[in-house]
Structure 1
Amino acid sequence: MGRKSELFFERTPYEGLLILVLSVIRPSGSSRSRSTSRSSISGGGNSSTCSNSSSCSIVEVVVVVVVALLVIVVVVVGLEVVVVVVVVVVVVVVVVVVVVVVVVVVVIVVVVVEVEVLVLVVVVVVVVVVVVVVVVVVVTVVLVVVVVLAAKIELIAL
């Protein structure tokens, strides 16, 4: 474990993170050498990842490629932008799911219970407005906290 932590802190944080993930995927007992691992990180291709091993699963290759792409995106764009995009996507998905559920419930209630449509429309509008306000407040708080934490992480990394 001491060797992994030394290896992690000798490099940049993103490169260290990628190496740590690779060491978890393919432990040090594997037949791959450190130079082969470095060539696959720097763009040597997937063939060098699996050439020295008889058992290389698709899952390992996919995980390595996804982690490498994430590290590249974080390095190029910045951690704050990636986190903001992820939070916005999650919020949009949550809002869409809530709206779909509300519409389905309204349709079921109108068909089954035959309640006055105007009453249901008012209730749906109130529920959607409340949900949107809550989501906007939560997203604003989360974004502020994430940007502050990301700035602290980058200061620590420097």
Structure 2
Amino acid sequence: MLSGGAGGGGQQQDLNGAAGNIIQILANLPEFLRKPMLQKRLSEFFDMAEKERQETIALALAAAPTIEPQKLSVLVKTWLEVLAGFDAEKRTAIFSIYCSQIIKQPESLQRLNFQSLTDTFQSLGDREREILADSFKEVLFAFPRREKILAAIPDYSRKALGL
């Protein structure tokens, strides 16, 4: 996960670049280093104030499309594995913030390679996929503008999530 605040104008571009650099560095780490680092970053994320959590996810969404798809897939897989190990309350909290940020910046999803990310999700173990999909569905069904989120997700990805 990333941390930091969002700013305006050029500062926002600098933060997006920094977020992209952090994501790139994490993706380049060997798994035995990447996984504990992501566990630590996610733990720190859950200790943040709500505003900081939203800013962090906004930066991650803005930076993700700038990362080479294969590297992003490696990082997302590790992140999903780590996230599956957290309790349901934390998973739903993070998915809820992602949904809110996607509504605020829908263009962030349009630039992602959903096929690659869905294949990454599909490469997880059955139990991890079930845990993550159930948490996402819980958030989605309670989300006030779920139809906008669903419309942004390609059919292939919705099917993989059981939606």
TM-score norm. by structure 1 comes to 0.21
1 or 2 for the larger relative contact order (CA 8 Å, sep ≥6)? 2
TM (norm. structure 2) is 0.20
